[in-house]
Amino acid sequence: MQFTAAQIALIINGKLEGNADAQVGSFGKIEEARAGQLSFLANPKYEEYLYQTRASIVIVNESLELKQAVNATLIRVPDAYSAFATLLAKYQELMTQQLIGIQQPSYIAPSAKMGDNIFVAAFVHIGENVHIGNNVKLFPGVVLGNNVQVGDNCILHAGVKIYHDCVIGNNVTIHAGTIIGSDGFGFAPQEDGSFKKVPQIGNVVVEDCVEIGANATIDRATMGSTIIRSGAKLDNLIQIAHNVEVGNNTVIAAQSGVSGSTKLGKNVMMGGQSGIAGHLNIADGARINGQSGVTKSIKEPNTAVTGTPAYEYASTIRSQAISRNLPQLEKRVKELEKLVQQLLAERVNVP
């Protein structure tokens, strides 16, 4: 698809400077863009690239004062980065909307109900009594178990697997290879040392506007639901155990894990490779540093923690700094011991 500068200026409500008929079909960084590409200049540090760029159209800030001639057509807006991001989002929406139809071979149980404008790629498997809303896009290899519900405007990328009875809200995006609704890790120890499986008969509920990365795993509840509240953003390879609740707009970076029955509040942030033990409550706005291991509930909202076991951020950083200098501290203690021994020895001589 090609767009003219005039069309783009209309969409982002910008002022045209240059050839209104200039055409672009894709996007590029200003320093790498080729002819036929659209770029933007937001950071004044990169202004020099504007005069060299081969991009056909560049979105710039209204306030920019040109220091020399520019080959590209310019579109001026109050905030170039924001306008560019808006354009990208609209473009991706357009691309996604064009995906319509049911490729063959796919497997759709006769009892499944599907909305309008959906895309079902080849090798998608849809079980009995599945309900799918409007504008849903299912990429190759998606598997929806029996009774799964998927709301409107969802994108499930290649190979996403959702076990039976799980519920996905509206405007949810799940990246390739992610598993929703696998059994929680529940085994009862037996007298002979073996383990007996505790059946996991709950489900997973993913609310609206959630995005989940690639190859993540979210286990179904033992009973009831594992819940991902609306607006939460989960990165690649994260693990959410059974009966966990992740609060609204909580953000979990890659390779982090949350153990069973823990409840995260709203707007919590977990850094990469961090972990939280089971049966804890994490207050709203808590910030958990990368690789930290939280072993106690966090009761105070907006608390920052770090380390394993995790403690309040600032004091831990102080302790870690001294810890780094332990050889020196030990040296000081040794020196003191010598001096005190000397003093003690001398003392004997005091009459």
Nearer residue to its own copies within complex by CB, 2 or 327: 327
Joined together, the tokens standing for residue 11 give 């969409």
Site for its own copies in 130-159 (CB under 8 A): 139-141, 143, 145, 157-159
* Interaction of residue 105 with its own copies, rule CB under 8 A: yes
- Choice from 277, 280, 296, 297 touching its own copies (CB under 8 A): 277
- Asked if 201 interacts with its own copies (CB under 8 A), we say yes
**CB nearer to its own copies: pick between 65 and 324:** 324
347 binds its own copies (CB under 8 A): yes
Nearer to its own copies (CB atom), residue 16 or residue 220: 220
Total chain residues near its own copies (CB under 8 A)? 105
- Decide if 290 contacts 308 (C-beta within 8 A): no
Piece in contact with its own copies (CB under 8 A), picked from 12-20, 52-60, 68-76, 243-251: 243-251
**One of 91, 129, 297, 304 touching its own copies (CB under 8 A):** 91
Q: For residues 309 and 290, give the distance between their C-alpha atoms in angstroms, rounded to a whole number.
A: 13
If the CB atoms of residues 117 and 291 are measured against its own copies, the closer one turns out to be 291
Residue 76 or 233: the one with the smaller Cβ distance to its own copies is: 233
- Which member of 96, 215, 261, 281 binds its own copies (CB under 8 A)? 215
Q: Closest approach of Cβ 15 to its own copies, in Å? A: 23
The residues, any chain, with a CB within 8 Å of residue 261's CB and separated by 6 or more, are 241, 242, 243, 244, 278, 279
* Selection from 303, 302, 299, 322 nearest residue 312 by Cα: 303
CB of 12 to its own copies, least distance (A): 14
With CB under 8 A as the contact rule, the residue among 152, 207, 219, 245 that binds its own copies is 219
The distance from CA 148 to its chain's CA centroid, rounded to whole angstroms, is 23
What per-residue string of b and e applies to 296-308 under the rule 16 or more CB within 10 Å gives b?
Answer: eebeeeebbbbbe
Interaction of residue 213 with its own copies, rule CB under 8 A: yes
Is 332 an interacting residue with respect to its own copies (CB under 8 A)? yes
Residue 71, class by beta-carbon neighbours within 10 Å (0-12 exposed, 13-18 middle, 19+ buried)? middle
CA distance 246 to 95: 31
Catalytic residues: 242
For the bound state, the minimum distance from the C-beta of residue 69 to its own copies, rounded and expressed in Å, comes to: 25
Identity (one letter) of the amino acid at 113? K
Beta carbons within 8 Å of 170's beta carbon, 6+ residues apart: 133, 151, 152, 153, 154, 208, 209
C-alpha 250/C-alpha 78 separation (Å) is: 31
Residue with tokens 């994490």: 282
Q: Can you tell me the distance from the alpha carbon of 242 to that of 199, in angstroms, rounded to the nearest whole number? A: 12
- Kindly state whether residue 326 participates in binding its own copies, applying the rule CB under 8 A: yes
Cβ atoms 11, 52 nearer than 8 A? no
Question: Which C-beta is closer to its own copies: that of 219 or that of 245?
Answer: 219
Binding residue (CB under 8 A) for its own copies from 53, 149, 217, 226: 217
119 binds its own copies (CB under 8 A): no
- Binding segment for its own copies (CB under 8 A), chosen from 12-20, 62-70, 110-118, 231-239, is 231-239
- Tell me the DSSP string of 186-253: -EEE-TTS-EEE-----EEEE-TT-EE-TT-EEEPPSSSEEEE-TT-EE-TT-EE-TT-EE-TT-EE-
Distance between CA 177 and CA 341 in Å, rounded? 67
Residue 74 interacting with its own copies (CB under 8 A): no
Report, in Å, the least distance between residue 45 CB and its own copies. Answer: 15
Please select the residue that binds its own copies; options are 35, 198, 280, 304, rule is CB under 8 A.
Answer: 198
Q: Does 209 bind its own copies (CB under 8 A)?
A: yes
Site for its own copies in 19-38 (CB under 8 A): 27-29, 32
